[in-house]
Amino acid sequence: MRVLVISDIHANLVALETVLAQAGSYDAVWCLGDLVGYGPNPNECVARVRALPGLICLVGNHDKAVLGEIDLNVFNLDARVAIAWTQREVSRETLAYLRALPEAHQAGDFTLVHGSPRQPVWEYILDRFIARENFPLITTPWCLVGHTHTPVIYKEISPDGDCDEEAPDYRRPRSLNGERLIINPGSVGQPRDNNPHAAYAILDTGARMWEYRRILYDVAETQNRMRVARLPERLASRLAYGW
């Protein structure tokens, strides 16, 4: 099965549509959460995602914040402003869809979470030390996570969870066979690895191959929509730099 893996769309419809147009054929879509927050098109992004084929979609921390299930004071000021704006903009249908999303899901040999196995919604796997603490909690060979907005692979190298960190290779697909891995596809709507191109991945579950991808999208159009909506300027500006 060919799976399109996406995460952290953050209401960036222009980036999402570009990814969907360039991804080629796929049998299913796995979305690792944070459909909304930060960006200018929350309702449109949710509607677009929920109509995708073979969809498995998780809830993220910004989704839960929009639902009122996470205290806004745990977010920075720009994020709080964007969440409050989103709460005013989202439809009842969007809220109902977000409220029904699970925090975690197992799809065959893959565990799917937004944050981490230990804290599916909130914890950031930012380095191999945090990854090491999470490996013992994973009951499948592979775990897919989002949340950090940074594409990366953590590879378990010992039974106690000790692991190495591996940067994405965009030149060729990577075999998953014979390894326990935590894999982050990066962010569609707000990359934070100093690369403004939308990030996503293609997973071949039969061949056990993972392919990282990046795609240029019309950042200026998303920025314009954010400015029209009077979202924080810093959130618009950062999209051009990927931070």
Place of tokens 């999402």: 16
| Cα separation values, 82 from 73, 89, 91, 141, Å | 13, 10, 16, 36
Q: What is the pTM of this model?
A: 0.96
The DSSP secondary-structure symbol of 211 reads: E
What is the per-residue pLDDT for 120?
98
What is the H or E stretch that residue 204 is in?
Answer: strand 198-204
Provide Rg for the chain, Cα atoms: 17
Using CA of residue 156, residue 161, residue 162, residue 167, what is the dihedral sign?
positive
Domain coverage including residue 66: 2-240
- CATH code where residue 197 lies: 3.60.21.10
Q: pLDDT tens digits, residue range 100-123? A: 999 999 999 999 999 999 999 999
Place of tokens 């230990």: 118
What is the per-residue pLDDT for 160?
77
Low-confidence ranges of the chain (pLDDT < 70): none
What is the per-residue pLDDT for 159?
81
What is the per-residue pLDDT for 21?
98
What is the per-residue pLDDT for 213?
98
What is the per-residue pLDDT for 122?
96
Q: pLDDT tens digits, residue range 147-193? A: 999 999 999 998 877 899 999 999 999 999 999 999 999 999 999 99
If one counts the domains in the chain, the total is: 1
